[in-house]
Structure 1
Amino acid sequence: MEINIRKFVKKFKANQIGELNLDINSNKITAILGSSGSGKSVLINSIIGSIRKFKGNIIINGTSRKKFTHYKINKLISFYTQTDFSLYSVNVVFFLRTMCIVLGIKKREREQKIEYWLKFFDLWDARKKSISKFSWGMKNRLNLILCFIKEAQLIIMDEPGANLDSYWRNKIKNLLIDYKKQGKTIIITVHNIDEISDIIDEYIILEGGKKIFAGTKEKLNIYSKYKLFIKDLFDVQKFREFLLEEDIMSFKYDNDENSLVIAVDNYRQINYLFLYLIKNNLPLNNLIKLPINMESIHKALENNELNK
């Protein structure tokens, strides 16, 4: 499913989002990033149809959000957000049966889907427990079930990793990879981009209601960076030449730390790196993965601008 955003403007008393012209491509995982107040939530809520009053147009799979019958496209869309459920004094199976009706899931498929997703998110044993008694992590897994149970073609997720430990974040990441292979379109808004940067295909970056970048991760020129701390002194120039041969970028060398920052984009490069260190008898003191965050993304954008 492709999304085309044309001349989008949403005005508020104190500020304005847009004008935005964007294309979100099908069969891709797209991250929408930006600081608080950048316009991410307004754009997402306009895509899902909860905000209707805006200038311009949003076209999803050929259907305009301006059409009177725009709501029909919602059958192809799933949305994840956090709901508290503190006032829901029903068990999770009863709740999901009701939600399956709301989501338009066929009666013959409901029980099988409910059982599958409760087991997938390890909530099957709690199926008779009141939702209001769930922990924050359990409630968040229930929110994820509401997103995935429809198995929609367009999946939109607003901060999916909140209140989840690394096990569940990795499980969701693998699920999204599988969904992309199935041809689904996925949109994610997230603060901690470092956890999912390896599966993102395209980025949209907003700041102050304006688009400051839209394109592939290759165009953004952002990579997974590591800081190597070598135990003994080494020939930095020779090491850089080796890295260049393997398409591994190298950055700052710190003489005091005897450390070098490198950037890789696949595990094959990491394997060659370790083979080089072993062959040249260069033991590591430490290896630190540097975070990918909004600061590093802004630096990448600055470098891109300088290199034009």
Structure 2
Amino acid sequence: MNQDLIEFSKFSKKFHKNQIGELSFTVKPNRVTAVIGRSGSGKSVILNSLIGAIKNYKGTIKLNNRDRKKRDSYKDNSSIGFYTQMDFSLYDISAYKFLQIICPSFGINKKDLNSKIEQWMKFFDIWDSKDKSLKNYSWGMKNRMNLILCFIKDPKIIILDEPGANLDSIWRNKVKNLLIKEKKEGKTIIITVHNIDEIADIIDDYLIIDAGKIIFYGSSEELNIYTKYKIFFFENINHQKLRNFLNENKIKSFKYDEEEKSLVFATNNAKEINWIFLYLLKEGIPIFNLIKLNINMDSIFKAIENKQIKRTKI
């Protein structure tokens, strides 16, 4: 049996003035795949084509070896949970009643319906507002309703398009922990995110799109993203000597800020931080603070650039 759960082959789509593709790639089961790209790169088009919301594309998309354009592709819809930012502004109906109406179309039987609704409304902390009209929900509550629609049918494939929007850091972390749990249960997760840093530690594979083309597809280990840290000192130091130490150990360092008394360095190996601490201890240099800087698109594109440079040198 083919171990590639999802397969895109020569996929292309013109969207407004943008051309996406041709793209060919596979998504393997029981992994977290992040689809990354700048605004307008084609991420949402790819996800909407996969769930069947967009049909008029060129090439093929297969899910479980079944062509998504074929008439019988609806059979796979029950295995897909999709999150998008539906705003419910025109829905003058209680959240509970809405779920009672829509969930049977997801294949949830009547026997389990009310208990599942209660379970997920309590998990996302909107049970006390179950009788409130959806149109009067706050943006954060609407977002949690959308997450319920994604998870309530216990899908094998979870597709999330910017799930952290309108959620505070506590809820974003709760969603992250939910994804960790779902993956442990054998689920396949495809996600687009703006704050890459918040979920970087659970991403298995990166599909990186730029101007409608794949510029990288592979594991997080292959991408080898460098994490940046900023180290603060109590007083200005002989930073050139420290930079020499970093260079000797192939640890990337950046400009020293005399006003902040800080230095930024980048590493893809947490052990290297211990080397720096040992060096500073040996030199008798106390530190005031060490903070981790966010992984962003620049970090990712820099990692890709470094890979290309290495390939050129081989």
Same fold (TM over 0.5): yes
Cα separation, 2, equivalents of 1:153 and 1:81? 17
Q: Which residue of 1 aligns with 2:106?
A: 103
Q: Which residue of 2 aligns with 1:259?
A: 263
1:262 is displaced (CA, Å) by 3.5
TM, length-normalised to structure 2: 0.87
Q: Which residue of 1 aligns with 2:234?
A: 231
Identical aligned pairs, as a percentage? 53
Contact 1:231 1:258 in 2 (8 A): no
Deviation readout 1:237-259 (Å, 9 max, x if unpaired): 79649x95xxx944336274452
- Where 1:160 maps in the other structure, the secondary structure is coil
Given the superposition, is the C-alpha separation of residues 145 and 54 from structure 1 closer, same or farther in structure 2, using an over 3 Å criterion?
Answer: same
Q: Which residue of 1 aligns with 2:136?
A: 133
Given the superposition, is the C-alpha separation of residues 100 and 288 from structure 1 closer, same or farther in structure 2, using an over 3 Å criterion?
Answer: same
Q: Which residue of 2 aligns with 1:183?
A: 186
1:24 is displaced (CA, Å) by 1.2
1:290 is displaced (CA, Å) by 1.8
Cα separation, 2, equivalents of 1:91 and 1:258? 53
Cα separation, 2, equivalents of 1:66 and 1:131? 33
Given the superposition, is the C-alpha separation of residues 7 and 239 from structure 1 closer, same or farther in structure 2, using an over 3 Å criterion?
Answer: same
Cα separation, 1, equivalents of 2:131 and 2:289? 48
Cα separation, 2, equivalents of 1:184 and 1:216? 18
CA RMSD of aligned residues (A): 2.5
1:66 equivalent among 48, 66, 69? 69
Q: Which residue of 1 aligns with 2:153?
A: 150
Q: Which residue of 1 aligns with 2:212?
A: 209
Q: Which residue of 2 aligns with 1:77?
A: 80
| Aligned pairs, number | 303
1:90 is displaced (CA, Å) by 1.6
Cα separation, 1, equivalents of 2:17 and 2:243? 54
Contact 2:226 2:266 in 1 (8 A): no
Consecutive unaligned residues of structure 1, counting only runs of 5 or more, are: none
Cα separation, 2, equivalents of 1:2 and 1:51? 19
TM, length-normalised to structure 1: 0.89
Given the superposition, is the C-alpha separation of residues 19 and 272 from structure 1 closer, same or farther in structure 2, using an over 3 Å criterion?
Answer: same
Cα separation, 2, equivalents of 1:195 and 1:255? 27
Cα separation, 1, equivalents of 2:151 and 2:251? 38
- Tell whether 2:98 aligns with 1:92: no
- Where 1:164 maps in the other structure, the secondary structure is coil
Q: Which residue of 2 aligns with 1:8?
A: 11
Amino acid at match of 2:63: I
